[in-house]
Structure 1
Amino acid sequence: MARARLYCTIVRMTGTLYKDDEDPTDKAIAETRRTGSAFVKFLSANDAGLTGGHQAGILVGRRAWPLLFDDIDDIGSIAKREVTIRWPENVETTSTFTWYPSKKELRITRFGRGFPFLTPEQAGALFVMARTGKDDYRAFILDGDDAADRYLETFQLSPADLNQIVLAQGQTHSLEQDEADAIGCWVDELRLGEGNPFPDSETVSRKAREIQEAVHNHSEQLTRDPDRKLVEFIRVEYALFRYMEQAKYLFSIQGGFDDLDSFLKIALSLLNSRKSRAGRSFENQIGAILRANDLQFEEQVITEGRKKPDFIFPSGAAYHDPARKPETMIVLAAKTTCKDRWRQILSEAGRMKDQPKWLITLQPSNSKQQLEEMKADNVRLIVPKTYIASYPKEYRSDIWTVKRFIEYVKDNAQD
């Protein structure tokens, strides 16, 4: 077991070549490291063939153009390119990259009959594709929250950073220059390379909001379009994390290590930091959105069995008041991904067992099976508006936007 953990750590941090029988997430991480970049997205319902749309294949963000096409003289006409893609279990396809100028869409098509990796159950899985040669690619389907989270944590990515090329250094093209300049200035002030500790998560979250607001100057969106604002805050905060890590650890890594223990100490510190920061970042930014909309709530209230739901409306005191009717309160859980981890929220608040279980997530899609099970357990899903179109069509009306949820709380769970 210790040897396996050691191997996985080295793979994640250095990109060492993997063995064929290793974990698929480690393979995806290693291939991204080895090739220097990859296209990464959560598979939508349409990608998995759930919507019945006439366009088959995987829709690729336009920012991934350089990974799919080298030189195209005229992007005003349809462009096609035939490539070889190697999938898990040694499945190999001769597939086609196609650019549709009328819709400004890139798609990966032609997987062959009986292709096993684009099934309805895989909606919401993480798709990773790296270029391994001129016309050769390697693709991975990472199904389940643990697999997806481990890949995202390794490269310090949020769901808001996806559907584009991800560089092995954990960078994306999602930052504007003014944002990058502001982040760089603040990180320089921290002097992390001189041994200063990372700021606490609340400080980083607050600085991300300040930078996003200073650059874009649209504070009115906190109330008019909280869905968009939440995604933007998360995007900038993850970029802050990446800059801070570079400032603190890059010099040590480039200088090399005297022994393996020294390397592992930094590697494990980085991985543990990324895991703990991801959840707190999401919760911090949700809290900021809720406060900007003047909602009464309390975080991490202790409930039955010493459980701690992320948010209770209007307060912990209200929850523990036996005279308070459950239908006048709301308990909200927050999970960045929830393809299968959503069941953890079912027992967080015993008083609310007959009430809807509210869950906010950045998961851009999910399978019909999971959505049906959520519905059966009275779980109400809240997703930023921009992601809802990626869910199966027949479930979209059941998924709440952040703005709709805020209005509902104002009407039903405030003093």
Structure 2
Amino acid sequence: MALTDLVGWMDEYGVPGAVWFAKRLAANDTLATGAHGAGPYIPKEFLFSVFPDLNHPEEENPDCWFDLYIDSHADRRRIRAIWYNNRLRGGTRNEARLTNFGGGRSALLDPDSTGALAVFAFLPHGPGRQMECHVWVCDQGAEADLLEERIGPVEPKAPVVWQPGEIARDLFMHTDAGPGSCRLLPGEIPPAWLTRFPTGEEIIRETVKRRQRNGLEPDRLLMRRRECEFEIFLSVEEAVYLPRIRQGFSAIGDFLSLAQTILQSRKTRSGTSLELHVREIMTEEGLLADTSFTYRPVIENGKRPDFLFPSKAAYDNPAFPAERLRMLAAKTTCKDRWRQVLNEADRIATKHLLTLQEGVSEGQFREMSEAGVRLVVPAELHRSYPASVRPHLVTFENFIGDVRPLSAIQGP
């Protein structure tokens, strides 16, 4: 569909009282891994808030039915929301899912939708009216970009709940800090951060203090630090912006300006966070900047890959063997963005792409491989990929091991 259709959809269903749930579809949501009982996973706490009748622990696997319209693909279904709760009775499951989509004919279960941004808009309902839900599954990156302009970045494992017109609830619906959390208490936030929002590098430094290596392998360390850094970011965001929101606004323009500032801050963080973590961990692993790797170099025709190995100097030296060069792009999702790396370094045939996306379809992976893209995926996410794809994934630790010896020779 045209982007104008999506704009109209956002305006129609972005009404007060509506609740949006946005997530990146994992392979376990779709049929990409061949899982039984496929259907989008949605946190049960959210489903309980939308369907209170679902929250009946005394019943085994309580459920409810509602109408769901996948407007992006002209599809209507009668959907079942179910809480699989047999763990309360000695079983293993305690999760909520939406089911009855009709298999791979649904855009939500199509394996090629893995990694796509999907937005569920639950509409308000009054006495005697049933809940209904309208869904948009993004087919292209431009659609995801447009939606994220409205609700902020949506990353793997980090769904977004958005309630149109309620900025404080939209932006600061965070859970309380639990044991081991990196959430900062008000007294732990540096005073300077309250007047000038910290840079990504400053938040990364605080993250490293709280999540030191302690013998963790690079893959696990990357995932733990990403979680920690996001909690720190949310703590600072709430401390800086929530008092301003509570003061109220004298003009709509002031309200919109602050909302845009917050969303832009989130976009900036999302755009650089992963590569900053990768740079920090590679340095801790003994790789030297501008000797073992170069971060964001400018090469031919103004191209700027995230990382070059062993260095920009080696890349610029035509006598340096091309087979000893590597490049790495760092992108949280790869469904639509993997093509961006194809032309980032002309001398390097195989492009390595580090992603946190929870799976790709076999078709997507085949297309990437044929184009010369090799996926680098943290080890704990490998099980999210189809069994046929897993043997071809590279762990972050193995990638570091591959590039480590490249700097031994910086000339022909």
Given that 1:182 and 1:211 are in contact with CA atoms closer than 8 Å, whether structure 2 keeps it comes out as no
CA displacement at 1:368 relative to structure 2: 3.6
1:97 aligned onto 2:45: no
The match for 2:376 is 382
TM-score by length of 2: 0.79
Secondary structure of 2:381's counterpart equals helix
Distance (whole Å) between structure 1 residues aligned to residue 211 and residue 109 of structure 2? 37
Matched AA of 1:190: A
Distance (whole Å) between structure 2 residues aligned to residue 47 and residue 302 of structure 1? 39
Q: Sort the Cα spacing of 1:160 and 1:47 in 2 relative to 1 into closer, same or farther, 3 A.
A: closer
The match for 1:122 is 113
CA displacement at 1:370 relative to structure 2: 2.8
The match for 1:313 is 309
Given that 1:368 and 1:392 are in contact with CA atoms closer than 8 Å, whether structure 2 keeps it comes out as yes
Please point out which of 287, 298, 302 is paired with 1:302.
Answer: 298
1:325 aligned onto 2:332: no
Distance (whole Å) between structure 1 residues aligned to residue 399 and residue 8 of structure 2? 39
Distance (whole Å) between structure 1 residues aligned to residue 398 and residue 46 of structure 2? 32
The match for 1:284 is 276
Given that 1:204 and 1:240 are in contact with CA atoms closer than 8 Å, whether structure 2 keeps it comes out as yes
Q: Sort the Cα spacing of 1:256 and 1:380 in 2 relative to 1 into closer, same or farther, 3 A.
A: same
Matched AA of 1:53: A
Given that 2:310 and 2:406 are in contact with CA atoms closer than 8 Å, whether structure 1 keeps it comes out as no
> How many residue pairs are counted as aligned between the two chains?
381
Distance (whole Å) between structure 2 residues aligned to residue 151 and residue 239 of structure 1? 23
In the TM superposition, what whole-angstrom CA distance separates every residue of 1:58-117 from its partner, at most 9, and x where no partner exists?
34456656456643334xx84130221422327443322330633424332112475444
Distance (whole Å) between structure 2 residues aligned to residue 23 and residue 333 of structure 1? 34
**Which range is displaced more, 303-312 or 150-159?**
150-159
Matched AA of 2:395: T
Please point out which of 219, 223, 226 is paired with 1:234.
Answer: 226
TM-score by length of 1: 0.78
The match for 2:97 is 107
1:57 aligned onto 2:49: no
The match for 1:169 is 171
Q: Sort the Cα spacing of 1:172 and 1:249 in 2 relative to 1 into closer, same or farther, 3 A.
A: closer
Report 1:227-266 matches (<5 A).
Answer: 227-266=219-258
Distance (whole Å) between structure 1 residues aligned to residue 401 and residue 253 of structure 2? 52
Distance (whole Å) between structure 2 residues aligned to residue 251 and residue 391 of structure 1? 43
Q: Sort the Cα spacing of 1:329 and 1:249 in 2 relative to 1 into closer, same or farther, 3 A.
A: same
CA displacement at 1:400 relative to structure 2: 1.6
The match for 2:165 is none
Q: Sort the Cα spacing of 1:376 and 1:191 in 2 relative to 1 into closer, same or farther, 3 A.
A: closer
Distance (whole Å) between structure 2 residues aligned to residue 256 and residue 47 of structure 1? 40
Please point out which of 54, 69, 72 is paired with 2:56.
Answer: 72
The match for 2:66 is 84
The match for 1:12 is none
Q: Sort the Cα spacing of 1:110 and 1:371 in 2 relative to 1 into closer, same or farther, 3 A.
A: same
Q: Sort the Cα spacing of 1:24 and 1:84 in 2 relative to 1 into closer, same or farther, 3 A.
A: same
Matched AA of 2:7: E
Please point out which of 177, 184, 187 is paired with 2:189.
Answer: 187
Q: Sort the Cα spacing of 1:160 and 1:122 in 2 relative to 1 into closer, same or farther, 3 A.
A: closer
**Which range is displaced more, 404-413 or 308-317?**
404-413
The unaligned stretches of length 5 or more in structure 1 are 1-7, 9-18
1:138 aligned onto 2:122: no
The match for 1:219 is 214
**Which range is displaced more, 249-258 or 164-173?**
164-173
The unaligned stretches of length 5 or more in structure 2 are 163-168
CA displacement at 1:148 relative to structure 2: 4.0
Q: Sort the Cα spacing of 1:157 and 1:265 in 2 relative to 1 into closer, same or farther, 3 A.
A: closer
The match for 1:403 is 397
Secondary structure of 2:400's counterpart equals helix
Matched AA of 1:124: G
CA displacement at 1:356 relative to structure 2: 0.9
Given that 1:57 and 1:109 are in contact with CA atoms closer than 8 Å, whether structure 2 keeps it comes out as yes
Matched AA of 1:200: T
Given that 2:161 and 2:170 are in contact with CA atoms closer than 8 Å, whether structure 1 keeps it comes out as no
**Aligned-residue RMSD, C-alpha:** 3.4
Secondary structure of 2:388's counterpart equals helix
**Which range is displaced more, 286-295 or 391-400?**
391-400
CA displacement at 1:384 relative to structure 2: 2.0
Matched AA of 1:186: E
Q: Sort the Cα spacing of 1:253 and 1:146 in 2 relative to 1 into closer, same or farther, 3 A.
A: farther
**Which range is displaced more, 240-249 or 131-140?**
131-140
The match for 1:45 is 27
